[in-house]
Chain A
Amino acid sequence: MTALRALVRKELAVLFGSPVAWLTLAAIGLVTALLFFDHLRIYNQILFLFASSTMGGFESDTVPAYVNLRDQVFLPVMETLALTLVGLIPLITMRVFAEERARGTDELLATTLLTPNQIVAGKSIAAYAFVALALALSFVYPATSIVRAGLGLPHLLAVYLGLFGLGIALTSVGLVCSAFTSSQLVAAISAYAVAFVLYDFRWMAQFLPDAAARAIDPLSMHLRFGAFAEGLVRGADVAYFAGYVLVAFALCRLAHDQARVR
């Protein structure tokens, strides 16, 4: 455990030693803030229009049910934050294995007490921890939704669990892409390609027979995240995101072993 802890610390130190991590955190904070206040501004305008007795024959204070903080502000912000993760996470994961291999420091790691499983686990844990931190930074604005609109903590936690699941899945994709190359550019581009395909399969349905389209639809990350966004925490969705971690671990381990025998 000492060796694993040292590796996780080193990974985080190397990550925060580069501007990419700080820029990513700043981007997530900024995007969330801008989106939140923009949606809040629009929501207030809509609210004002509907509440006005001079508009469209509505009586004062008769605002339709769908004009609420949850649907007009909270969920759109979370939806866009999910897309932001697709754009930013490959920038973090691209270096995890590829940079180590390109620098030759993987040879140094191979002479330590770390086992191959610990190397893969340590690097993955650090990357997942970074995603958790990034999401924690975005928490403040949705949290105000709870306070002001009484959305309910369980719903907010469900959405954040979904976002974390999505972040974990995207990070897993990025880790695998980084594990099979020594080029950070190749790792990032391949991670974007795979992530965009896996994020939403529905575009593919038009090219496939109905049965095939129905079969691949549940594999879409967006669909799984959508359930959490509605406040539903289902075992199948949790298992889906956890599956990415297991598959990524197995593939990263395979890449590690291949490098030793090829």
Chain B
Amino acid sequence: MSEQAPRGATVEATALGRRFGDRPALAGIDLRIEAGESFGLLGANGAGKTTFIRLLTGYLVPSSGSVTVDGFEPIADARAVHERIGFVAETSRLYPELRVRGFLRFAGGVRGLSGAPLRDAVDRALARFALEDVALRPIGNLSKGYQQRVNLAQAFLHDPALLIVDEPTAGLDPLQQADVRRELHGAAGERTLLLCTHDLGEARELTRRVAVLSRGRLVACGPTAEILGAGDLLALFRGPEAAA
């Protein structure tokens, strides 16, 4: 019996670097995330996690090196990359004036869905994330937990091969956090999951392998249990310079 190819997209960063003026935000990042893998990107605030994601989505241009999704570069092959990715940012990055269904229709439309496939995708997303009861309410009137469900729903509309999630539980209460984690847990395995967080419990629960960034450098990469179970994690977050 032939082995089935893993679902999801491969991410590969080679000597990836990014500077903001004179300040290096990322330097010499070499990283490979396999298709179907649940991968965590850990680090303190300002470590370079969000910059890595922004380079991966094509929102920022690298200062050096490259990053690819299934071999495609986010700037040169934007369409090929964007067809593969779903992006979940913090809850505040939504349109509070739009109604839930209207927002999902927009999110599907800008990913190339229209007509019956768009209607079906929106209905499926509303059902999957239990949003039917609030479908006609403005996003700004929803609780943070519901807003994050809307955020997750928009990322799943086009069934992406790579789901990029940036601080998905920031600002949520414990019940809402559990809700979001359950959804992400369900998504893991169906596709590649790149979780960007500084919440170690979240990383433990949702990822199999993690990389730790500190001051723009990759300071550790390996199985989640091994990295999070070893030594002084805070020292790892602070980076080798701080330890010296």
Chain A residues in the interface with B (C-beta under 8 A) = 2-3, 5-7, 9-10, 13-14, 17-18, 103-115, 260-262
Contacts and interface: CB of A to CB of B under 8 A. Distances in A.
B97 A13 contact: yes
B78 A2 contact: no
Of B57, B94, B97, B109, most buried by chain A (CB within 10 Å of CB) is B109
A215 to B, nearest CB: 39
B93 A14 contact: no
Closest 5 CB pairs of A and B: A6-B109, A17-B97, A112-B110, A104-B93, A111-B87
Contact of B82 (A14, A112, A260): A112
A113 B79 contact: yes
Contacts of B61: 260-261
A104 B98 contact: no
A262 B106 CA distance: 29
Contacts of B20: 262
B84 to A, nearest CB: 10
A114 B79 CA distance: 8
Of B82, B105, B108, most buried by chain A (CB within 10 Å of CB) is B82
B119 interface: no
Interface string B52-63: 001001111100
Interface of A is mostly: helix
A261 B59 CA distance: 9
B95 A107 contact: no
A261 B87 CA distance: 21
Given A3-B109, A260-B60, A111 B93 contact: no
B93 A105 contact: yes
Contact of B102 (A13, A105, A110, A262): A13
Interface string B81-106: 01101110110111101100010011
B109 A107 contact: no
B112 A108 contact: no
Contacts of A17: 95, 97-98, 138
Contact of A5 (B79, B89, B97, B109): B109
Nearest to B105: A6
B27 interface: no
Nearest to A122: B110
B93 A113 contact: no
A261 B154 CA distance: 27
A108 B95 CA distance: 11
Given A14-B98, A105-B93, A111 B57 contact: yes
A105 B58 CA distance: 14
Interface of B: 20, 54, 57-61, 78-79, 82-83, 85-87, 89-90, 92-95, 97-98, 102, 105-114, 138, 154, 164
B36 to A, nearest CB: 20
Contacts of A2: 109, 112-114
Contact of A103 (B59, B93, B154): B93
Contact of A113 (B95, B102, B105, B112): B112
Nearest to B60: A260
Contacts of B57: 107, 110-111
A114 B111 CA distance: 8
Contacts of A104: 89-90, 92-93
A112 B57 CA distance: 9
A109 B87 CA distance: 10
A30 B78 CA distance: 47
Contacts of B164: 111
Contacts of B113: 2
17 contacts: A3-B112, A6-B108, A6-B109, A10-B102, A10-B109, A17-B98, A17-B138, A104-B90, A108-B87, A108-B89, A111-B86, A112-B82, A113-B79, A113-B112, A260-B59, A260-B60, A261-B60
Given A14-B98, A110-B58, A111-B59, A6 B106 contact: yes
Contacts of A107: 54, 57, 59, 87, 89, 93
Nearest to A105: B93
Contacts of A260: 58-61
Given A13-B102, A107-B54, A261-B61, A112 B97 contact: no
Of A17, A106, A111, most buried by chain B (CB within 10 Å of CB) is A111
Contacts of B86: 111
Contacts of B94: 103, 105
Contact of B110 (A13, A106, A113): A113
A113 B114 CA distance: 13
Given A2-B109, A3-B111, A112-B110, A105 B85 contact: no
